[in-house]
Amino acid sequence: MNTAATSARSRSPYWALLAIALAIAWGLYASGLAADILRYRKDIGYLTKQHLTLVAISGSAAIVFGVGIGIWLSRPWMARWAESAIQAVNMLTSIPTLGKLALMMSFLGIGPLPAIVGLWIATLLPIIRNTYEGIRIVPAHLTDAARGMGMAPTTVLLRIELPNALFVILAGVRTAMAVNVGTAPIAFLIGGGGLGELIFTGIDLQQQGMMLAGAIPTALLAVAVDFLFGQAQYWLVPRGVNPLRAT
Amino acid sequence: MIRLEALTKTYATPKGSVTAVDGVNFEVREGEICVLLGPSGCGKTTTLRMINRLVIPTSGKIYLRGRDTDSVDPVELRRGIGYVIQQIGLFPNMSVAENIGVVPRLLGWDAARRRRRAEELLSLLALPPAEFADRYPSELSGGQAQRIGVARALAVDPPVLLMDEPFAALDPVNREAIQDEFLRMQRKLRKTILFVSHDIDEAVKMADRIAIFHSGRLVQFAAPDEMLAKPADAFVASFVGSDRTLKRLRLIRVREVMASAVDARIDANLPAVSPDDDLRRVAALFLEHGVESLTCVDAAGRALGVVTREAVARRLALEDSQ
Judging contacts by C-beta atoms under 8 Å, the chain A residues touching residue B95 are: 240
Q: Quote the pLDDT of residue A150.
A: 94
Answer yes or no: are the C-beta atoms of A43 and A198 closer than 8 Å.
yes
The CATH H-level superfamily of B2-243 is P-loop containing nucleotide triphosphate hydrolases (3.40.50.300)
- The chain-wide mean pLDDT, for chain A, equals 89
| B114/B122 Cα distance (integer angstroms) | 12
- pLDDT at position B98, please? 96
* pLDDT of chain B, 322 residues: tens digit per residue: 899 999 999 998 888 888 999 999 999 999 999 999 999 889 999 999 999 999 999 999 999 988 999 999 999 999 999 999 988 889 999 999 999 999 999 999 999 999 999 999 999 888 999 999 999 999 999 889 999 999 999 999 999 999 999 998 888 888 888 999 999 999 999 999 999 999 998 999 999 999 999 999 999 999 998 898 888 999 998 888 878 888 888 888 888 888 887 777 777 788 888 888 888 888 888 888 888 888 888 888 888 888 888 888 888 887 554 4
Q: How many CB atoms sit inside 10 A of residue A205's CB?
A: 10
- Contact status of A144 with chain B (Cβ, < 8 Å): yes
Residue A1 confidence (pLDDT) above 60:
no
> Which chain B residues have a beta carbon less than 8 Å from that of A139?
87
pLDDT at A123 over 80: yes
The nearest CA of chain A is from the CA of B289 a distance in Å of: 51
Q: Could you please report the per-residue DSSP string of B212-275? A: EEETTEEEEEE-HHHHHHS-SSHHHHHHH-TTHHHHHHHHSBHHHHPEE-TT----TTS--B-T
| Minimum CA–CA partner of A237 in chain B | B93
CATH class (in words) of the domain with range B252-320 = alpha beta
Residues from chain B contacting residue A137 (CB–CB below 8 Å): none
| Closest approach of B294 to chain A, Cα-based (Å) | 50
Q: What residues does each domain of chain B span?
A: 2-243, 252-320
Strands B160-164 and B192-197, bridge-based pairing: parallel
Chain B residues within 8 A of A150 when measuring between CB atoms: 75-80, 103, 106
- Which of the four pLDDT bands, split at 50, 70 and 90, describes residue A247? low
Residue B54, pLDDT score: 94
Q: What pTM was computed for the model?
A: 0.83
Residue A99 has pLDDT above 70, yes or no: yes
- Nearest CB among A148, A149, A240 relative to B93 is that of A240
Output the pLDDT for position B321: 47
pLDDT at A3: 43
Neighbours of B294 (CB within 10 A): 24
Distance of CA B135 to the CA centre of its chain: 28
Beta carbons of B221 and B207 less than 8 angstroms apart:
no
pLDDT tier at A65 (50, 70, 90 boundaries)? Answer: very high
Q: Would the pLDDT of A142 be above 70?
A: yes
User: ipTM above 0.90?
Assistant: no
A243 touches chain B (CB under 8 A): no
Structural domains in chain A, CATH included, are 41-245 (1.10.3720.10)
Cβ atoms of B67 and B104 within 8 Å: the answer is: no
Tell me the C-alpha distance between B75 and B73, whole Å: 6
Tell me the nearest-neighbour CA distance from A109 into chain B, angstroms.
47
Q: Is B93 on the interface with A (CB under 8 A)?
A: yes
Alpha-carbon distance A152 to nearest alpha carbon in chain B (angstroms): 6
| Interface check A145 vs B, CB under 8 A | yes
CB–CB of A150 and B95 under 8 A?
A: no
Given this model, what pLDDT does residue B295 score? 86
Distance CA B212, CA B222 (A): 9
Of A150, A159, A164, the CB nearest to B79: A150
Size of interface A-B (CB pairs under 8 A): 70
pLDDT at position A10: 54
Whether B252-320 and B2-243 are alike in CATH topology: the answer is: no
Residue A4 has a pLDDT of: 44
